[in-house]
Amino acid sequence: MPNANDDTPSALSQAQHRAVSELLRVAPVADDLARRFQEAGFSLALVGGSVRDALLGRLGNDLDFTTDARPEDVLKIVRPWADAVWEVGIAFGTVGAQKSGRVGDTDARFQIEITTYRSEAYDRTSRKPEVSYGDSIEEDLVRRDFTVNAMAVALPAKEFIDPHGGLQDLAARVLRTPGTPEESFSDDPLRMMRAARFAAQLDFEVAPEVVTAMTQMSGRIEIVSAERVRDELNKLVVSSHPRKGLTLLVDTGLAGHVLPELPALRLESDEHHRHKDVYEHTLIVLEQAIALEEDGPDLALRLAALLHDIGKPRTRRFEKDGRVSFHHHEVVGAKMTKKRMTALKYSNELVKDVSRLVELHLRFHGYGTGEWTDSAVRRYVRDAGPLLDRLHKLTRSDCTTRNKRKAAALSRAYDGLEDRIAQLQEQEQLDAIRPDLDGNQIMEILGVGPGPVVGKAYQHMLELRLENGPMEHDEAVAALKEWWSEQS
């Protein structure tokens, strides 16, 4: 590693000291692997995000290496050494491995990726990068996305390699490309989204020339597969500063290609005139939802906060009294959410959860500020199902009024709802609300076989359960027979 001198800014000196400490921590595993490559006649270097994170003092157990060995040679070296090996990325020159080792006094498990020196370029009509292998680490580093990711540490000698000034940019907290931004983004347009993602993850600024290239080339993102776009968007959304990355996507025009519903919100006035636009309101809701998270980033909650009002542009109406209304925007927004997330290849389960949260985010306000009936509470819990805790957080986050008295009143009202839910859950096991008679009992009492009538009877009994709460068995039987006689 380089030594700090009197001319080196203190930020660089501190970064170097952090890196030494971090590299010493993982040295037993990294050096052992490097020696094996050396004995086989190859070079190995820690590279990219691993070096960046070591300099930031946040290196984890995911280690990225680069080598002049071809993938088949990497496999020969790694297989006898690693606990597990996988070849999922081998078409792109990457071999994955898992290795356990000691870190100080504790056992650790390292996730390792070893990639052959390479260069990538996109055909203008292709969705997949073309991979060609290189012969030098300098050639490999120049093809990296940003200078802060274009640093390496050759092992086991610990020689620091930084041909593009990544250390200086890291100290300045700025994202630049090793070559021209236009060349970098032409090679892989996804790097434009990665700029926004790293800005959000690291709280870095993006160099002006990079922002300019992103703006001019934003349309190139459309040749990238939906799956790669989705994965970058996820990393941005669950980052520490998602507003920063989302704002960059919108301002450069990238969001118009990958999530057009978001920039569309800038054109709409919020119906309560609480913000300049619904776009700003949405970003505040996202930040408030993040503040309510208890166990780390919640992708479903954050996506719901981001998308909860996307139905407003399509439902905007100018009323005679001068107000702007967005009637049923939650229903329209849920459909739009499902369509967009499906296009981005999200899992069916996540699509279902996020669109349901968008659909339900106004349900609380529909009950007004009065006392919640038992029936209303049961229906609220039933409709939310396993999403109830997320719905609580989303609904609370959706209050962004600057009127402190109004905000306090809404908070008290929702406190009251949560209290009512807790009381009824204790009494009635609301999480598993079912009719007092199941399908088999209904068929036996009515003397009918399986068919549509059983479903109708079941639904009737469920409505009674939601409206009136639990019934004794004889009472439930009588209610079913009464319904049956009315059907006849």
> What per-residue confidence (pLDDT) applies to 458?
81
Residue 426, pLDDT > 60, answer yes
First to last CA, the chain: 87
Q: Which residues of 360-386 are buried (b: 16+ CB within 10 A; e: fewer)?
A: bbbbbeebeeeebebebbbbbbbebee
> What per-residue confidence (pLDDT) applies to 317?
82
Q: Which helix (H) or strand (E) holds 143?
A: none
**CB atoms inside a 10 Å sphere around CB 253:** 17
| Contact call for residues 93 and 131 (beta carbons, < 8 A) | yes
> What per-residue confidence (pLDDT) applies to 275?
42
Angle at 269 between CA 412 and CA 272, to 5 degrees: 25
Residue 10, pLDDT > 70, answer no
* Helix ranges (DSSP H) in 174-311: 181-187, 190-202, 208-216, 226-237, 242-252, 255-258, 261-264, 278-291, 299-307
Q: How many helices and strands (H and E) does the chain possess?
A: 23, 13
User: Could you tell me the pLDDT band of residue 424, with boundaries at 50, 70 and 90?
Assistant: confident
- Note the pLDDT tens digit of each residue in 370-392: 567 777 888 888 888 889 999 99
- Note the pLDDT tens digit of each residue in 327-342: 889 999 999 999 999 9
**CB atoms inside a 10 Å sphere around CB 468:** 14
Question: Distance (Å, rounded) from C-alpha 43 to C-alpha 66?
Answer: 8
Rounded to an integer, the average pLDDT of 98-103 is: 85
> What per-residue confidence (pLDDT) applies to 3?
41
Rounded to an integer, the average pLDDT of 214-232 is: 96
| Contact call for residues 289 and 242 (beta carbons, < 8 A) | no
Q: Which helix (H) or strand (E) holds 203?
A: none
Residue 181, pLDDT > 70, answer yes
Q: Give me the percent of the chain exceeding a pLDDT of 70.
A: 88
Rounded to an integer, the average pLDDT of 249-267 is: 94
Q: Which helix (H) or strand (E) holds 160?
A: strand 159-161
> What per-residue confidence (pLDDT) applies to 341?
97
- The residues with which 183 forms a beta bridge, in sequence order, are none
Residue 429, pLDDT > 70, answer no
Rounded to an integer, the average pLDDT of 102-131 is: 76
Q: Which helix (H) or strand (E) holds 368?
A: none
User: Could you tell me the pLDDT band of residue 130, with boundaries at 50, 70 and 90?
Assistant: low
Do you find a cis peptide bond into 156, omega within 30 degrees of 0?
yes
> What per-residue confidence (pLDDT) applies to 6?
40
If we measure between CA atoms, which residue out of 49, 44, 17, 48 comes closest to residue 29? 44
Rounded to an integer, the average pLDDT of 121-130 is: 62
> What per-residue confidence (pLDDT) applies to 11?
62
Say how many residues make up the chain. Answer: 488
> What per-residue confidence (pLDDT) applies to 377?
82
Question: Distance (Å, rounded) from C-alpha 475 to C-alpha 479?
Answer: 6
Q: Which one has a higher pLDDT value, 271 or 72? A: 72
Angle at 226 between CA 220 and CA 227, to 5 degrees: 125
Residue 310, pLDDT > 90, answer yes
- Note the pLDDT tens digit of each residue in 349-365: 999 999 999 999 988 87
| pTM, two decimal places | 0.81
User: Could you tell me the pLDDT band of residue 414, with boundaries at 50, 70 and 90?
Assistant: confident
Residue 9, pLDDT > 70, answer no
| Contact call for residues 118 and 143 (beta carbons, < 8 A) | yes
Residue 5, pLDDT > 50, answer no
